[in-house]
Amino acid sequence: MKVIWNSQIVEREEVSIDPEDRGYQFGDGIYEVVRAYNGVFFCLDEHIDRLYSSAQKIEMAIPQTKEEMKSLMNQLLKESGVETGNLYLQVTRGIASPRNHVYPDLSVLPTITGNMTIVPRDAEKIASGITAVTEPDIRWLKCDIKSISLLGNIMAKHEAHKRNADEAILHRDGIVTECSASNAAIVKDGVIYTHPDGNLILPGVTKIVWLKCAEALGIEVREEPFTLNQLAEADEVFCSSTTIEVMPIHTINGEKVNNGKSGEITRQLADAFKQKIEEHCGTV
Ligand SMILES: Cc1ncc(COP(=O)(O)O)c(C=O)c1O
């Protein structure tokens, strides 16, 4: 299987990760997940922009230009033969010895790895929705950086899993921020509410697209914080991410939302989102 390793496409077996790689030792790195449909990346520019923005926020210099990185990713997509699936791309601060919390100087080059996996689009789930539970948001205060240090996220997701739910909706002191691996939104009286971008959430690429869809559909969106009470009283609840698109949440903490059915506005957004994919990548 072909993978990205630094500036090249190589066989997976050729990659070796040093035990003193800072990604491995400190979780000192960033990543992106980019979706491909029919052999074409969706929203590649937006993902690249966020990758370089994350790098800049942690003072890490990626040696490739954005254009070079995009062509490397496109080359991997082509050579992998994957039609519909996900690219996981990771950039760590490289190998520095002896272990030292202080960043090494910029002559230490980042370690870049990337691989494609086949992940079919789950149209049935997008129609029927998923279950969620609420969990405290125990993460750090720079959630806008797409950091590979994901303990806070995976602990929340694992709690959800233990409670037989698909996703964890996170809250800080009763204010819903986002989910463990997606952005969160509610619909009340025809208006969509979602937490504003800032340091408490990841600025979702999927969210950028559904915000545009909502505008085109004439659906009002308020990017403002909402509470757990508002969540409990919402007409509709949905989450969004690159891998799950616009996904209805039909049950929260065992209580049904909208009688356990996907709501009308969520359905309209999910359909409009699918249309955007098809405009760029062909029929899905
Ligand atoms: C914590 C978190 N929030 C939001 C998102 C959604 O981001 P995107 O739509 O860019 O996939 C993700 C995606 O992985 C995430 O992990």
Q: Is the peptide bond before 203 cis (omega within 30 degrees of 0)?
A: no
Tell me, yes or no, if 146 is annotated catalytic.
yes
**Residue of 202, 211, 231, 269 marked catalytic:** 202
**What was the pLDDT predicted at 251?**
98
- pLDDT tens by residue, 4-48: 999 999 999 999 999 999 999 999 999 999 999 999 999 999 999
**What was the pLDDT predicted at 213?**
98
The stretch 124-150 carries a mean pLDDT of 98
The stretch 59-73 carries a mean pLDDT of 98
**What was the pLDDT predicted at 211?**
98
Cα separations (Å) of 206 from 43, 44, 45, 88? Answer: 9, 11, 12, 16
Tell me, yes or no, if 141 is annotated catalytic.
no
For residue 202, how far is its CA from the centre of ligand 1 (angstroms)?
A: 6
Prediction pTM value: 0.98
Phi, psi of 219 (to 5 degrees): -95, 130
Cα separations (Å) of 197 from 47, 160, 165, 178, 184? Answer: 16, 24, 26, 10, 12
Q: How confident is the model at residue 216 (pLDDT cuts 50, 70, 90)?
A: very high
**What was the pLDDT predicted at 274?**
98
- pLDDT tens by residue, 161-180: 999 999 999 999 999 999 99
Tell me, yes or no, if 202 is annotated catalytic.
yes
Helices and strands (DSSP H and E) totals, the chain: 8, 16
Q: How confident is the model at residue 98 (pLDDT cuts 50, 70, 90)?
A: very high
Contact 202, 142 (CB under 8 A): no
What would the two tokens of residue 96 be? 């520095």
Helical H segments across 145-232, by residue range: 151-162, 205-217, 228-232
The whole-angstrom separation of Cα 179 and Cα 201 is 9
Name residues contacting ligand 1 (CB within 6 A).
33, 153, 178, 181-183, 202, 204-207, 240-242
Residue 282: other Cβ atoms inside 10 A: 11
Please provide the average confidence, as pLDDT, over all residues in the chain. Answer: 98
Element (H or E) spanning 192, and its range?
Answer: strand 191-194
For residue 99, how far is its CA from the centre of ligand 1 (angstroms)?
A: 31
Radius of gyration of the chain (CA): 19
- Tell me the torsion sign for CA atoms 192, 208, 89, 98: negative
- pLDDT tens by residue, 220-229: 999 999 999 9
